[in-house]
C-alpha cells in the first residue's frame, strides 16, 4: 500500500492538517498571513542607514508590500563582513513602521537577543543557518511573537517540520514556513528553489508557507520569475530583498531588486494574483455548496 503523507510525517503531527485544523492564519498587526490575501514582505537584506531603510519602506509600501524586512543581526560567513547594526538597526525598523504602518520582520540569531528583538519586531525570523538551533527555537517560540521559520539550506522537508513542531510544542501557534532554496550540485544559482516543497507543504500542513526568491536565486534578474512560480505553487506570500542602490548594498546586493525592479516584479505578479483570487473564490463557493448539501442530508435523515 502507498504510504500516506500523514504516515510519512507522523513524527510531527501538530504541523499536519487534521479534520479540526485545515488552515492557520497568523495575525500580524491588521494582517492575516495565510488568511487568503497574498502577503508581500520586502526590504533590504540588512538595515544600513536611516535614509536607506526609510526610502525602501516607503517605496515597497507604495508598491503593495505589507511587511518590511531587514536584518539588524546578520549571519555572515566571514568575520570581516558587516554583521548588522544591532539595536540601532531595530530602532530604525521601528521608526519605519511608525512612518509607514508596515509590520516588521527581522532575524534573531541568538537566544540572548530574543527579548530585545521581540520588543521591536512584529515577526521573529529564524534564519536558514539556525533552523535546527533548538534552544533558539524554544526561546523564540516563548517570546509570544509570530515566528518565520526559514528552511535550512541542507534541511529536508521532514527536518523543517520537526523545527516547526518544536515551535508549536513551545506554545506558539503562529508559525510561518519559508522555502528559501537548498544546496544542490547546481552552482549557477545561489541555491535551488524547491518549489515542490512549497506545493507539498501547502498540501500537508495547515501552516502558512511563504517563498524567498531572493536567497533561492542569488541573482536579481531571476527573482521575478521565481516569485511568479511561488504564486502558482500556492504560497501564501513572499519575502524579497529590495535596496535603493543594490550594487552598493552592504550585503546580498547581487540578489536585491532596485526600486524599479520591485515595481516591475509586482506588476508581473498581477495576472497570477488575479487567477489566485479567482481560484480561492471558486473554492469557497464549492465549500459553501457542499456544506449546504450536507445540511440538507442531515435534515432529510433527521
Residues in touch with ligand PEP (CB under 6 A): 45, 71, 75, 127-129, 150, 180, 212, 215
Phi/psi at 125 (5° precision): -95, 125
Name the strand (E) or helix (H) holding 103.
Answer: strand 103-107
Could you tell me which residues come within 8 angstroms of residue 100 by beta carbon, excluding any fewer than 6 positions away? 57, 58, 61, 68
Q: What is the CA radius of gyration of the chain?
A: 19
Considering only residues 19 through 58, tell me which ones interact with Mn ion, judged by CB under 5 A. 45
- If phi over 0 gives left and psi between -120 and 50 gives alpha, with beta otherwise, what is residue 234? left
Residue 225 burial (CB < 10 Å; 0-12/13-18/19+)?
A: middle
- Count of residues binding Mn ion (CB under 5 A)? 2
252 binds Mn ion (CB under 5 A): yes
Q: Which is nearer to ligand PEP, 233 or 240 (CB)?
A: 240
Taking the C-alpha atoms of residue 52 and residue 46, their distance in angstroms, rounded to an integer, is: 10
Q: Shortest gap between Cβ of 1 and ligand PEP (angstroms)?
A: 37
Phi/psi at 31 (5° precision): -100, 160
Q: Which stretch binds Mn ion (CB under 5 A): 78-86, 199-207, 246-254, 257-265?
A: 246-254
- CB-CB neighbours of 272 under 10 Å: 16
Contact partner, 150, from ligand PEP, Mn ion, none, Cβ < 5-8 Å per class: ligand PEP
Compose the 189-228 pattern: x for residues touching Mn ion by CB under 5 A, - for all others: ----------------------------------------
Q: Which is nearer to ligand PEP, 194 or 212 (CB)?
A: 212
Q: Which is nearer to ligand PEP, 16 or 160 (CB)?
A: 160
Closest-approach residue to Mn ion (CB): 45
Q: Which is nearer to ligand PEP, 70 or 224 (CB)?
A: 70
Residues that bind Mn ion (CB under 5 A): 45, 252
Amino acid at each position: 500500500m502507498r504510504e500516506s503523507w500523514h504516515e510519512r510525517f507522523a513524527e510531527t503531527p501538530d504541523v499536519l492538517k487534521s479534520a479540526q485544523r485545515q488552515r492557520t492564519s497568523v495575525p500580524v498587526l491588521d494582517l492575516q498571513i495565510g488568511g487568503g490575501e497574498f502577503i508581500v514582505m520586502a526590504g533590504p537584506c540588512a538595515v544600513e542607514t536611516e535614509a536607506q531603510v526609510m526610502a525602501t519602506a516607503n517605496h515597497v509600501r507604495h508598491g503593495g508590500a505589507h511587511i518590511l524586512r531587514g536584518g539588524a543581526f546578520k549571519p555572515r560567513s566571514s568575520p570581516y563582513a558587516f554583521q548588522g547594526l544591532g539595536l540601532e538597526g531595530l530602532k530604525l525598523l521601528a521608526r519605519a513602521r511608525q512612518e509607514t504602518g508596515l509590520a516588521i520582520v527581522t532575524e534573531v540569531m541568538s537566544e540572548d537577543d530574543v527579548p530585545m528583538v521581540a520588543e521591536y519586531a512584529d515577526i521573529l525570523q529564524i534564519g536558514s543557518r539556525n533552523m535546527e538551533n533548538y534552544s533558539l527555537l524554544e526561546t523564540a517560540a516563548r517570546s509570544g511573537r509570530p515566528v518565520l521559520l526559514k528552511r535550512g539550506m541542507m534541511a529536508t522537508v521532514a527536518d523543517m517540520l520537526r523545527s516547526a513542531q518544536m515551535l508549536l510544542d513551545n506554545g506558539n501557534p503562529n508559525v510561518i514556513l519559508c522555502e528559501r532554496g537548498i544546496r544542490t550540485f547546481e552552482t549557477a544559482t545561489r541555491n535551488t528553489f524547491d518549489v515542490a516543497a512549497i506545493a507539498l507543504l501547502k498540501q500537508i500542513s495547515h501552516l502558512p508557507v511563504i517563498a524567498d526568491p531572493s536567497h533561492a536565486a542569488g541573482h536579481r534578474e531571476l527573482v521575478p520569475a521565481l516569485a511568479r512560480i511561488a504564486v502558482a505553487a500556492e504560497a501564501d506570500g513572499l519575502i524579497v530583498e529590495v535596496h535603493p542602490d543594490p550594487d552598493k548594498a552592504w550585503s546580498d546586493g547581487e540578489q536585491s531588486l532596485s526600486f524599479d525592479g520591485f515595481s516591475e516584479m509586482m506588476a508581473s505578479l498581477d495576472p497570477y494574483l488575479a487567477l489566485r483570487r479567482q481560484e480561492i473564490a471558486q473554492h469557497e463557493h464549492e465549500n459553501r455548496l457542499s456544506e449546504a448539501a450536507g445540511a440538507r442530508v442531515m435534515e432529510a435523515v433527521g
